[in-house]
Every structure is written in C-alpha cells, then in structure tokens.
Amino acid sequence: MAEIGESIEKAVSFLKKGEVVGMPTETVYGLAGNALDEEAILKIFDVKNRPKFDPLIAHVDSLRKVETIVEEIPNIAHKLSDAFWPGPLTLLLKKKSHVPDLLTSGHPRVAVRIPDHATALCLLSSLDFPLAAPSANPFGYVSPTSALHVQRQLGQKVPYILEGGECLVGLESTIVGFEGNQVVVYRLGGIEVEALEAVVGAVKVQVNTSSNPSAPGMLKSHYSPGKQVEVGNIAELLKGKDPHRTGVISFMETADVPRENLFRLSAAGDMREAARNLFKALRTLDKPEIDSIVAEYVPAIGLGKAINDRLQRAAV
C-alpha cells in the first residue's frame, strides 16, 4: 500500500527514478511522472488503465519552464497566463519536438499548467523536468480530491502519495486552446468562462461530448461512480425509489431521504463550496447501502457550468 507523506524529498527521489507518485494540486490530485520520459508516461497510462489516445497535462512551476516545452506563447495566451497562473487553467500550445508524442497522443499541441498549490509548486521547483499528471483515478471514475481517495483506488500501484490536504477547487482545470486569436474552451473547469471573458473578450465553448473525442479526451461518460446517477428534479426522481437505498446530491435544499443519504453541495448556495464538494459527494454516496444516486443541476453561472458538465457525464 502506498505511503501517504509530506516529504518532497521522497517524492522527488521516486520521480527521478522514473516512478509515478500521487501529488496534490488545487483542482484534484494528480498521478505524476516525468513528462519527458516515455517509460514514466507509459506507467501513468498503465496505472490509470487509460487509453493512449487521451493525452496528459504537463505541470511546471514557472513560465520559464513552460518555454522549455512549447514553441511559442502567443500574446493572447500570455494574457491568460498573466491573469490565471498559477491556477486551474490549462493552455494548449504548440509543443517543442523533444516533448514525447506519447504525452500528447500524437497531437501537435501540449497541455500545460502551473498549479496553484504550495506543495505542488515546491515539488515542481525541485525537479528539472515537467510532471505529467492526469487526475489520480482509474480511467472513467470520479477524480480524487484528497490523498486518501488516491490511496483507496491506486494505493496498490504507486509507492508514494504526497499529502497536500483537501483540494480547494475540487474540479479539474479549464482547458483552453487557440484558433488564431479566438480562445476556445475545450473543458469547463476551475476558471469560469466569465472570468476568461473578462480578460480576453468572448470565448468559444467547444466542449466535446462525443465518445470519440478529437481534441481533449472529454469522453461523454466520465466521472462515474459505481452507481447509476440520474440528474433532474430530485422529488420527481425519488418517486418509486426506496429512500433508504437512494443517494441524493442537492445544491442547497434537503430531500426526503435519511440524513446519511443526502449530500447538500452548499447549504448557503456558494458555488465555490459546491464545486469543492461535488466529487466528495459522488464518492461518499458510492457505498453498498445505496443502489442509485439522484442529483439536480445547479444554476449555470460561473463554476455552476462545470459542475453541471460533470454531473451530466456522471449520469451517462
């Protein structure tokens, strides 16, 4: 079983040996390995059981290191990196030729981000290579927002998980690419569309929902707990179901089920709190006493759009 610990040195020594380790970020925990080492990248795909057509994000701690893996940072990308890095924003930029095709699944662009997490930044600054880090969950399952989540699912397959507390954002990064000067959002996430637009004007949202994603590996069915999930009007969905065997994820309100079967994302209606709680809610209700989960969409404002996107994918 993987050790959970706070030693940057230990994590560094495993990573330098080509091993993969769990690492915290502000969004979700990542399964990290040397992004420039094909063996390490293969290990990541293997541990996650992830198809190789789904490329990985490279994490670094500085713009200087971004420049070592991308051909150029266009002005429009600079505006976004100035505004949101470190933070939950991933940029797709033309990769330098030494960046392995395995990392990008053969795509000409590499996904990069500077995470806003002190432990992650400390780890990254101790290394002279970027870290490839997909969310540290088995492919298709809900992303982990604590070290314990990682240990429960991948603990047999990794030697070490770096402890960094519970993730403060709780949703993965927003993924953005560029068509000329047009900013295109490929995955809704921790930076709101409204926040991007305040910096660069209107953006195009092109969230992929096909089961064979062309650009980002945004599969239609993803973020699924082991139970059936239905999203809609909670009272309606509960009709005909045994309340003792049904989990409920509501935004603010209570519901007619036993207390331990109810997860309110934010009783106060705070969207950030709701985002932080979503994956925890799906995991908490994924237990033997429960047959299925019903949930409701939250208002589609700010992070609400990303929350609804994840609920929709969990329900497929």
User: Among residues 43, 9, 218, which one has the least CA distance to residue 119?
Assistant: 9
Q: Which does 25 bind (CB under 5 to 8 A by kind): Mg ion, ligand TXA, none?
A: ligand TXA
Q: Which of 25, 135, 145, 224 binds Mg ion (CB under 5 A)?
A: 135
| Cβ partners under 8 Å of residue 288, min gap 6 | none
Q: Which is nearer to ligand TXA, 32 or 257 (CB)?
A: 32
∠ Cα 1 225 223 (to 5°): 95
Number of residues that bind Mg ion (CB under 5 A): 1
Closest approach, Cβ 130 to ligand TXA, in A, equals 12
Q: Which is nearer to Mg ion, 135 or 246 (CB)?
A: 135
CB 269 within 8 A of CB 251: yes
Closest approach, Cβ 248 to ligand TXA, in A, equals 26
Q: Helix axis angle, 8-16 relative to 118-125, nearest 10°?
A: 50
Q: Side by side, which strands form the sheet with 228-231?
A: 228-231, 292-295, 246-250, 262-264
Q: Tell me: does residue 28 bind ligand TXA (CB under 6 A).
A: yes
Give the whole-angstrom CA distance, residue 76 versus residue 74: 5
Closest approach, Cβ 233 to ligand TXA, in A, equals 30
Closest approach, Cβ 201 to Mg ion, in A, equals 29
Q: Which is nearer to ligand TXA, 31 or 255 (CB)?
A: 31
Q: Tell me: does residue 30 bind ligand TXA (CB under 6 A).
A: yes
Q: Which is nearer to ligand TXA, 101 or 273 (CB)?
A: 101
The helix/strand/coil state of 252 is: coil
Whether the bond between 134 and the residue before it is cis, its omega within 30 degrees of 0, is no
Q: Which is nearer to ligand TXA, 133 or 158 (CB)?
A: 133
Number of residues that bind ligand TXA (CB under 6 A): 27
CA max distance for the chain: 58
Q: Which of 10, 79, 107, 157 binds ligand TXA (CB under 6 A)?
A: 107
Q: Which of residues 44-63 bind ligand TXA (CB under 6 A)?
A: 54-57
What residue ranges in the chain does DSSP mark as E strands? 3-5, 21-23, 30-34, 57-59, 89-94, 109-113, 131-132, 160-162, 174-179, 182-187, 204-205, 228-231, 246-250, 262-264, 292-295
Q: Using CB under 5 A, list all residues that contact Mg ion.
A: 135
Task: Point out which residues bind ligand TXA (CB under 6 A).
Answer: 25, 27-28, 30, 54-57, 88, 90, 92, 104, 107, 109-111, 115, 133-135, 172-173, 175, 215-218
